[in-house]
């Protein structure tokens, strides 16, 4: 096939490329649209140049998407490594143990708070001064909340071990053996 020149104006080239005449001028400034004379363009060469530009942009865009995916993958790998490191250092507990700990702690706090009316009913009934009633209730509620704040996680873990006859394990195990060293009482 012979490559005869197909010549046209900026308007002709704009129609071929599906762009504005202004864009044709920009493409000529970027040496993508081939100008053969003033306001005369080689349509065939300009179309080929424009196709190359589009391919280059598409490749660059694909590279950007690939880079974004690599960044996401790297971030996820880092998170996984942090989790594995925490498990190796004994800073993680099985979700079941933590769930039981919180259930017991909240249950004990609930019991303590619900016992206030029963425990203090006689004393409150005989009190005529509303300020004194408020002080008694404040003291009882503060006492219950202080017990909650001072809940002994280590004691819970030891009771759990005695009750279940199991060793606290980290999240990652190999052949049933715990990974890491000590029992992480402070991790709860």
Domain ranges of the chain: 7-81, 90-187
Give residue 33's pLDDT: 93
A 10 A CB-CB count for 35 gives 19
Q: CA torsion, points 166, 170, 174, 180, in degrees to nearest 10? A: -110
Give residue 51's pLDDT: 92
| Average pLDDT, 10 consecutive residues per value, the chain (188 residues) | 78 92 93 91 92 85 80 88 77 75 85 88 86 90 84 75 60 45 45
Give residue 186's pLDDT: 45
Q: How many CA atoms does the CB half-sphere of 90 hold within 13 Å?
A: 10
For the whole model, what pTM was predicted?
0.37
């Amino acid at each position: 096939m012979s490559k005869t020149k197909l010549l046209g104006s900026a308007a002709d080239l704009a129609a071929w490329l599906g762009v504005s005449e202004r864009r044709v001028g920009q493409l000529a400034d970027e040496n993508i649209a081939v100008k053969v004379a003033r306001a005369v363009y080689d349509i065939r060469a300009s179309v080929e140049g424009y196709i190359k530009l589009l391919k280059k942009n598409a490749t660059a865009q694909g590279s950007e998407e690939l880079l974004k995916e690599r960044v996401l993958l790297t971030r996820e790998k880092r998170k996984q490594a942090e989790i594995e490191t925490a498990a190796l250092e004994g800073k993680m507990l099985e979700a079941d143990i933590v769930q039981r700990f919180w259930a017991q702690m909240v249950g004990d706090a609930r019991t303590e708070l619900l016992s206030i009316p029963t425990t203090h009913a006689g004393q409150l009934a005989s009190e005529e001064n509303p300020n004194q009633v408020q002080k008694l209730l404040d003291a009882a509620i503060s006492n219950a909340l202080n017990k909650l704040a001072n809940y002994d996680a280590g004691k819970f873990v030891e009771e759990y071990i005695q009750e279940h006859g199991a060793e606290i394990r980290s999240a990652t195990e190999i052949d049933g053996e715990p990974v890491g060293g000590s029992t992480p009482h402070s991790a709860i």
